[in-house]
């Protein structure tokens, strides 16, 4: 063990820990869940600290040796070399002060080591005075949220959604010649092509891609430089421009200054906006997954219009049973995303006066949603959608049998008489085509032409 001091007195630390006294106090104060903020967030913290050090160095506020040591240590944090030293529970001191100090202390102690000093000798590199120079928890934590969430969406979620949309579009093309019965209210409706149905799914995912992409754009507006409240206290003129420029250089992303620093620190609305778009995407995916479960239901007692890849046995007691497990997994994931969004919404509205103190919760849930959506969509695409097969004969059977085929008679007989035909077909078990031919309403040739299910599906 080693002993460090902070403003409240002495604290005992594991000798090998890069973190310091304030982090250790948080570990002791908040043994809540054992859940830590993820790798992507820690990477973003490293980016912020690296950019801030360079910005302060450019202003002559950090000497060359300290700057180079902090740069090297921050780079190692970005690369994930010290993740095990980020030990604060997500349920921690409000706003994320403990999380910010965790990063400051890890980088400071590693920089001290680089300078051949002993960990805890903050005369060489101080977590507050050097690593946290011109910063506050209140501007670095939301900035880290936005950087990590933007990169997560760009690198993982959007590619996953584009892959799903492409796979659904491929199924739509393959199934375009397959006619089936449409269903509304889970009752017979007019014919539709299976390809049209899947084309609708693909278009829905494309729409969500646009919404998520648009919402993620709000994350580009960073409140860094506002310091504690938005006044920029203790930050030298030019710091804000310098730190944004360095963040852009490190990430290769066009981050920029938020329009109003006070608003940027009072609220975490870009995270709320992105989370809402993820909730919308989850709802779309639930609909698609549920439809695929219905369309594949059976195989003998359900719709059974499509066949899903068999990936594992479906029952511990019923031999040979295979379940739509990928659709079930995706739905569960989406329920979790909706729950995360609810937590984020409550946490965002909890902003009071100059600050939102619920940011660790927002950070965790937002990044959790991005991560699980990305993973579940990738797996669903690869292990379900790409392997879906259609049962052409069964689809055609339902297309011929649907009572809503009578809809095509409306221009010929009128709605009321067409309804009688539909009712008679239902009561007798015959098709609409059979009834109109038997009644002499249409000749057999006319019935085949006018009541051709494929022709009724449009272009």
Strand intervals (E) in 117-168: none
**Annotated catalytic, 185?**
yes
Contact 411, 430 (CB under 8 A): no
Domain ranges of the chain: 2-133, 148-234+245-391, 402-457
Q: Which fold, 148-234+245-391?
A: Fumarase C; Chain A, domain 2 (1.20.200)
Task: In whole angstroms, give the CA distance from residue 344 to residue 350.
Answer: 10
DSSP 297-318: --SSSS---EE----S---SSS
Q: What is the pLDDT of residues 67-125, one digit of tens each?
A: 999 999 999 999 999 999 999 999 999 899 999 999 999 999 999 999 999 999 999 99
pLDDT of amino acid 251:
98
Q: Does residue 149 carry a pLDDT above 80?
A: yes
For residue 70 the two structure tokens come to: 């902090």
Q: What is the pLDDT of residues 273-328, one digit of tens each?
A: 999 999 999 999 999 999 999 999 999 999 999 999 999 999 999 999 999 999 99
Q: Does residue 254 carry a pLDDT above 80?
A: yes
What is the chain's mean pLDDT, rounded?
97
Handedness of CA 312, 317, 321, 326 (dihedral sign): negative
Residue 252 has φ and ψ, to the nearest 5°, of 75, 15
Q: Which fold, 402-457?
A: Ribonucleotide Reductase Protein R1; domain 1 (1.10.40)
Q: Which residues contact 73 (CB under 8 A, 6 or more apart)?
A: 106, 107, 108, 110, 111, 114
- Please give the DSSP secondary-structure letter assigned to residue 12: E
Bridge partners of 256, per DSSP, are 221
Q: Does residue 443 carry a pLDDT above 80?
A: yes
Q: What is the pLDDT of residues 25-49, one digit of tens each?
A: 999 999 999 999 999 999 999 999 9
Tell me the HSE value of 178 on the side-chain side, using a 13 A CA sphere: 21
Q: Which residues contact 337 (CB under 8 A, 6 or more apart)?
A: 278, 279, 281, 282, 369, 372, 373
pLDDT band at 459; cut points 50, 70, 90: confident
Residue 192 has φ and ψ, to the nearest 5°, of -150, 155
Which among 33, 148, 185, 374 is annotated as catalytic? Answer: 185
Which among 315, 316, 374, 416 is annotated as catalytic? Answer: 315
Q: Which fold, 2-133?
A: Fumarase C; Chain B, domain 1 (1.10.275)
Task: In whole angstroms, give the CA distance from residue 47 to residue 49.
Answer: 6
| Cα angle value 319/323/324 (rounded, 5°) | 165
Q: What is the pLDDT of residues 446-458, one digit of tens each?
A: 999 999 999 999 9
Read off the pLDDT of each residue in 240-261 and give the average, rounded to a whole number: 98
**Annotated catalytic, 82?**
no
Contact 429, 211 (CB under 8 A): no
Nearest to 60 by CA among 134, 128, 115, 127: 134
């Amino acid at each position: 063990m080693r002993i460090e001091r902070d403003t409240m007195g002495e604290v005992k630390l594991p000798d090998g820990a890069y973190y310091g006294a304030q982090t250790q106090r948080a570990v002791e104060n908040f043994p809540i869940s054992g859940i830590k903020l993820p790798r992507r967030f820690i990477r973003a913290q490293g980016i912020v600290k690296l950019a801030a050090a360079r910005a302060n160095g450019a202003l002559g506020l950090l000497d060359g040796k300290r700057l180079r040591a902090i740069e090297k240590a921050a780079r190692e944090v970005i690369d994930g070399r010290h993740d095990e030293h980020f030990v604060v529970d997500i349920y921690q001191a409000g706003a994320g002060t403990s999380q910010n100090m965790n990063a400051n202390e890890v980088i400071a102690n590693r920089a001290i080591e680089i300078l051949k000093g002993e960990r805890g000798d903050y005369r060489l590199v101080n977590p507050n005075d050097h690593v946290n120079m011109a910063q506050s928890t209140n501007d670095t934590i939301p900035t880290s949220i936005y950087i990590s969430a933007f990169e997560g969406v760009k690198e993982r979620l959007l590619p996953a959604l584009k892959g799903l949309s492409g796979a659904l579009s491929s199924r739509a093309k393959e199934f375009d010649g397959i006619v089936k019965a449409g269903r509304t209210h889970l009752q017979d409706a007019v014919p539709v092509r299976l390809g049209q149905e899947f084309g609708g799914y693909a278009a829905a995912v494309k729409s969500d891609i646009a919404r998520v992409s648009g919402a993620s754009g709000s994350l580009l507006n960073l409140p860094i430089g506002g310091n504690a409240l938005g006044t920029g206290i203790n930050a030298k003129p030019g710091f804000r421009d310098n730190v944004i420029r360095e963040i852009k250089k490190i990430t290769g992303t066009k981050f920029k200054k938020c329009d109003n620093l006070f608003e940027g620190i009072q609220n975490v609305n870009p995270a709320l906006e992105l989370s809402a778009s993820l909730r919308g995407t989850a709802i779309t995916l639930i609909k698609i997954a549920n439809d695929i479960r219905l369309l594949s239901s059976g195989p003998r007692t359900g719709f059974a219009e499509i066949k899903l890849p068999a990936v594992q046995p479906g029952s511990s007691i019923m031999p040979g049973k295979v379940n739509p497990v990928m659709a079930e997994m995706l739905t569960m994931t989406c329920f979790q995303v909706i729950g995360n969004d609810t937590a984020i919404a409550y946490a965002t509205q909890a902003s009071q006066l100059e600050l939102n103190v619920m940011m660790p919760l927002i950070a965790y849930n937002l990044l959790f949603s991005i991560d699980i959506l990305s993973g579940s969509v990738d797996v669903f695409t690869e292990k379900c959608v790409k392997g879906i097969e259609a049962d052409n004969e069964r689809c055609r059977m339902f297309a011929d049998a649907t009572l809503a085929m009578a809809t095509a008679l409306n221009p010929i007989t009128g709605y009321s008489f067409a309804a009688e035909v539909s009712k008679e077909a239902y009561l007798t078990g015959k098709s609409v085509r059979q009834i109109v031919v038997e009644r002499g309403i249409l000749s057999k040739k006319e019935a085949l032409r006018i009541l051709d299910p494929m022709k009724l599906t449009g272009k």
